[in-house]
Amino acid sequence: MREDSLRRRLDKRKELGMLRTLKVHSEMVDFCSNDYLGFARSPILYKKIEDYCSQNRPRLAGSTGSRLLAGNSTFVEELEKSIARFHKAPSGLIFNSGYDANIGLFSCVPQRNDLVLYDEYIHASICDGMRLGKAETVSFRHNDLEDAGRKMISARNPGNKRDIFIAVESVYSMDGDRVPLQEMAKLCERYNAKLIVDEAHATGVIGAGGAGLVNDLGLEEACFARLHTFGKALGCHGAILLGSDVLRNYLINFARSFIYTTALPYHALASVKCAYELLPGADKDRMELNDRIRQFGEAMGVHRPLSTSPIQCVIIPGNENVIAVALQLQHDGYDIRPILSPTVPRGKERLRICLHAFNTREEAGSLIEILQRIIR
Ligand SMILES: Cc1ncc(COP(=O)(O)O)c(C=O)c1O
* pLDDT in the model for residue 373: 86
* pLDDT in the model for residue 17: 76
Average pLDDT over the chain reads 94
Q: Which fold has domain 47-280?
A: Aspartate Aminotransferase; domain 2 (3.40.640)
**For 156-160, 172-176, 234-238, which range has the lowest pLDDT when averaged over its residues?**
156-160
pLDDT band per the 50, 70, 90 thresholds, residue 3:
very high
* pLDDT in the model for residue 305: 64
pLDDT in tens, 265-274: 999 999 999 9
* pLDDT in the model for residue 58: 85
**Mean pLDDT across 155-171:** 88
- Spatial neighbors of 39 by CB under 8 A, at least 6 apart, are 45, 204, 233, 234, 235, 236, 275, 278, 282
Residue 230 CA, closest ligand 1 atom number: 10
Q: Reply yes or no on whether the pLDDT at 375 is more than 80.
A: no
Nearest to 357 by CA among 211, 235, 227: 235
Q: pTM for the full model?
A: 0.96
* pLDDT in the model for residue 149: 96
Residue nearest to atom 8 of ligand 1 (CA): 98
* pLDDT in the model for residue 206: 98
* pLDDT in the model for residue 300: 84
What are the beta bridge partners of residue 313?
A: 352
Residue nearest to atom 16 of ligand 1 (CA): 173
Q: Reply yes or no on whether the pLDDT at 28 is more than 70.
A: yes
Q: Reply yes or no on whether the pLDDT at 303 is more than 70.
A: no
Tell me the C-alpha distance between 125 and 122, whole Å.
8
Q: Domain spans of the chain?
A: 22-37+282-375, 47-280
Q: 47-280: same fold as 22-37+282-375?
A: no
Residue 125 CA, closest ligand 1 atom number: 4
Tell me the C-alpha distance between 87 and 151, whole Å.
30
Q: Which fold has domain 22-37+282-375?
A: Aspartate Aminotransferase, domain 1 (3.90.1150)
Residue nearest to atom 4 of ligand 1 (CA): 98
How far does the centroid of ligand 1 lie from the alpha carbon of residue 160, in Å? Answer: 33
Percent of the chain with pLDDT over 70: 98
How far does the centroid of ligand 1 lie from the alpha carbon of residue 108, in Å? Answer: 19
68 vs 26 pLDDT, higher one: 68
* pLDDT in the model for residue 159: 67
User: Which protein residues touch ligand 1 with a CB less than 6 Å away?
Assistant: 97-99, 102, 123, 125, 169, 173, 198, 200-201, 229, 231, 239
From 125, 130, 205, mutation site for ligand 1 pocket: most ligand atoms within 8 A of C-beta:
125
**Mean pLDDT across 113-132:** 97
